[in-house]
């Protein structure tokens, strides 16, 4: 979003599945950027230059993003993120630590989370 941009609330301005209604406090436009939401209030479409589609599971947790970049997310049974893959590079989370897994020939380094 652009600093100082005008924000619009209350009407869908990006095409969203099922013609879902926007929620009263959901930003649907800011400057030239637009967003769309599903019936549960999850952001399912974001257009910031390139359109992005955002998918969610039955618990309303984001599972994938497709558009300018490709990302996938895996959450554990308690809702904590356990794995994130962005453009083929995976980050695995284990408690307070994360390990970025890049190219097979590159070493992996545990990094404190946060």
Cα 92 vs. chain centroid, distance in angstroms? 17
* pLDDT tens readout for residues 16-28: 554 455 556 677 7
What pLDDT, on the 0 to 100 scale, is given for residue 10? 60
∠ CA 18-54-72, rounded to 5°: 140
Query: Global pTM?
Result: 0.64
The whole-number average pLDDT for the span 4-24 is: 55
- Cβ proximity of 62 and 55 under 8 Å: yes
Which tens digit of pLDDT belongs to each residue from 41-83?
888 888 888 888 999 999 999 999 998 889 999 998 888 888 9
Show me where the domains of the chain are located: 1-49, 56-93
pLDDT confidence of residue 96? 76
Q: Quick check: 34 and 66 in contact, CB under 8 A?
A: no
- 44: which DSSP letter? E
């Amino acid at each position: 979003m652009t600093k100082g941009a005008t924000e619009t609330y209350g009407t869908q301005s990006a095409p969203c599945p099922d013609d879902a209604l926007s929620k009263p406090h959901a930003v649907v436009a800011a400057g030239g950027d637009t967003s769309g939401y599903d019936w549960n209030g999850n952001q399912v479409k974001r257009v910031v230059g390139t359109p992005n589609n955002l998918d969610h599971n039955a618990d309303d947790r984001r599972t994938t993003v497709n558009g300018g970049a490709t990302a996938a997310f895996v959450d554990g049974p308690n809702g904590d993120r356990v794995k994130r893959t962005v453009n083929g590079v995976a980050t695995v989370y284990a408690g307070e630590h994360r390990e970025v897994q890049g190219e097979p020939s590159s070493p992996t380094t545990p990094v404190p989370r946060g």
